[in-house]
Amino acid sequence: MKRILISLTLLLSGALFSQSAPPNVLFIAIDDLNDWVGCLDSHPQVKTPHIDALAERGTLFTNAHCQAPLCNPSRTSVMTGLRPSTTGVYGLAPWFRKVDEWKDLVTLPQHFSNAGYQTYTVGKIYHGRDWNSPKLSEFDVVAKTSVGLMPKTKRVATPRGGRGMDWAVYPYEESDHKDWKTASWAVEQLDAKPKDPFFMAVGFALPHVPLLATQKWFDMYPEDEVVLPRMLLDDRSDTPRFSWYLHWKLPEPRQKFLLEEGEQIKIVQAYLASVSFIDSQVGRVLEALERNELADDTIVVLWSDHGYHLGEKQITGKNTLWDRSARVPLIFSGPGVKAGQRSGRPAELLDMYPTLSELCGLEVPDHLEGLSLAPQLKHAQAPRTRPAITTHNHDNHGVRSEQWRYIRYADGTEELYDMVEDPNEFTNVASDSRYAAEKRALRKQLPKINRKPAPGSAKRILTYEAGVANWEGEDIGPHDVIPD
């Protein structure tokens, strides 16, 4: 029955590939990975040979951006094909299926399952625990792996952080880490030669905190040789006060803490070590794909849900509308994808749903708000009709074109950066009248739908009503001291 469904779909939609059977999909998600990947040329020391090799075998989007700089809304957007400003999912809660309007929406894996694919998942794909109940049907096969060993104590005593806000050498074996177990499960499935066609989603947790990798990965980045990202100590002097409201009180420490406690170099070292460890786990999965002679028939897409600050803009963590939070790796390889390409066109994670549907010859659902990247996968410089948009809580948006990043906050304040001349976003030129035309053009790209937070919204929720900002139920006064 599945083969009949697939054949009918291909007949109706027209496939972009020449095989007699539709391609498989290997969908690799990495948590909190910013653009510190070798092929993106954003950190001079980072070592990611397996991800870099994947980019060489396919098309790398060098100007790709998440829809939200926070796990739950970003992953909800990827899997539903809708913007956060459409779903109203902005915080770490709710699980979107608990919102009446979206409880029956066909998600990306369900779309593939409905078309006859066998769908698998392991690790972190959706956020939280609501989605992997046996009673739900997000995937046909949901992995059951152990969580891995975790240290009983923290090394770093951060001001507001819980147990997870830490960076240190992992005191156990690599094979004890949950990301090793995630990769191992995926490898086992590939070694078992899953029945074609399959859609396998593999989600890695690092470099999400706690940043824990074994000593050999730290040894790749000796502490006395670590290169810090470029940053200014007063980098917020020309940004609106409202920019602080987006991350008013969070477990992630400010840069002030890192400097005072001698942790600035240490957190960068731990982040780099964690990135390289995850690259090795990606390599294990890709090697299994090759070893089992599945690579030629499998589309691989690798992505991260959002970026991460490590001192830039005086903070750590995400929850901002700047490039360090929004810019992410996005790589496609396999059938229908030209190898060795780098595309600088603005791309969105939202685009994966329609792109994979088109590449696999499936009908593209009408509700999707992303645009297929298929033209760029054939010709890297094929035109795009719009920039990338990142949203954090209602009415706060960043618009990213090839040259500009424009930010507009809920109170109407703005930022504008020339990303060609000022890639570190050091100088906000929004008040410069010479760029009024650029601002007007970018402002027109802001989402037309701006829903208030969905029922059940919680954790990192900021609202703005009648001139009053409210962070997680607490009003922020115009003269309140910005928390350290």
For the residues 44-70, what does the mean pLDDT come to? 98
CA distances from 99 to 11, 285, 350, 391, 396 (A): 35, 35, 20, 19, 22
Looking at 37-180, which runs of residues are DSSP E strands? Answer: 58-61, 64-65, 118-123, 141-142, 167-169
Question: Given this model, what pLDDT does residue 211 score?
Answer: 98
**Are 443 and 209 a contacting pair, CB within 8 Å?**
no
Residue 132: its pLDDT value, please? 61
How high is the pLDDT of residue 134? 54
Q: Is residue 113 part of a domain?
A: yes
pTM above 0.75, yes or no: yes
Instruction: List, for residues 357-412, the tens digit of each pLDDT value.
Output: 999 999 999 999 999 999 999 999 999 999 999 999 999 999 999 999 999 999 99
Q: Across all residues in the chain, what is the average pLDDT?
A: 94
* Residue pLDDT, tens place only, 409-462: 999 999 999 999 999 999 999 999 999 999 999 999 999 999 999 999 999 999
Q: What span, in angstroms and rounded, lies between the C-alpha atoms of 416 and 435?
A: 9
Round to whole Å and give the CA distance between 108 and 93: 20
Q: Looking at residue 1, what is its pLDDT?
A: 38
Q: Is 66 a catalytic residue?
A: no
| CA angle, residues 165, 255, 48, in degrees to nearest 5 | 65
**Higher pLDDT, residue 3 or 357:** 357
**Residue pLDDT, tens place only, 172-201:** 999 999 999 999 999 999 999 998 899 999
Of the listed ranges 32-46, 142-156, 291-305, 422-436, the least confidently predicted one is: 142-156
The answer to whether residue 177 is catalytic is no
CATH of the domain at 450: 3.40.720.10
- Is 47 within the bounds of a domain? yes
- Two tokens at 441? 């053009």
How confident is residue 15, by pLDDT bands cut at 50, 70 and 90? very low
Q: Which two tokens stand for residue 449?
A: 């739908």
Asked whether residue 481 is assigned to any structural domain, the reply reads: no
Alpha helices in 413-466 (DSSP H): 436-443
| Cα gap 359→337, rounded to integer Å | 9
Which DSSP string corresponds to 144-203? --------SS-S---SS--TT--EEE--S-GGGSHHHHHHHHHHHHHHT-PPSSEEEEEE
Using CA atoms in the order 33, 358, 1, 144, what is the torsion angle rounded to 10 degrees? 0
**Does the residue 482 lie in any domain?**
no
Q: What tokens were used for 107? A: 């998600």
Band (13; pLDDT cuts 50, 70, 90): very low
Question: Does position 17 have pLDDT exceeding 60, yes or no?
Answer: no
> Does 131 have pLDDT greater than 80?
no
Judging by beta carbons within 10 Å of its beta carbon (0-12, 13-18, 19+), is residue 282 exposed, middle or buried? buried
Segment 298-311, tens digit of pLDDT: 999 999 999 999 99
Q: Which residues pair with 476 in a beta bridge?
A: 469
Percent of the chain topping pLDDT 90: 92
Residue 209 inside a domain? The answer is yes
* Lookup: tokens for 90: 């902005």
Selected catalytic residue, list 39, 66, 71, 360: 71
Q: What is the mean pLDDT of residues 117-136?
A: 81
Give the number of other CB atoms < 10 A from CB of residue 442.
Answer: 23
Confidence of residue 146 (pLDDT cuts 50, 70, 90): confident
* Domain presence at residue 95: yes
Q: Which of 294, 371, 334 is nearest to 16 (CA)?
A: 334
Q: Look at residue 133 in the predicted model and tell me its pLDDT.
A: 61
On whether residue 483 sits in a domain, the answer given is no
| Annotated active-site residue in 43, 127, 309, 394 | 127
Q: Which domain does 310 fall in, by range?
A: 2-476
Domain total in the chain: 1
Q: What digits encode the pLDDT tens for the residues 82-113?
A: 999 999 999 999 999 999 999 999 999 999 99
User: What pLDDT sits at residue 10?
Assistant: 40
What local confidence, expressed as pLDDT, does residue 130 receive?
Answer: 67
The answer to which of 75-79, 135-139, 303-307 has the lowest mean pLDDT is: 135-139
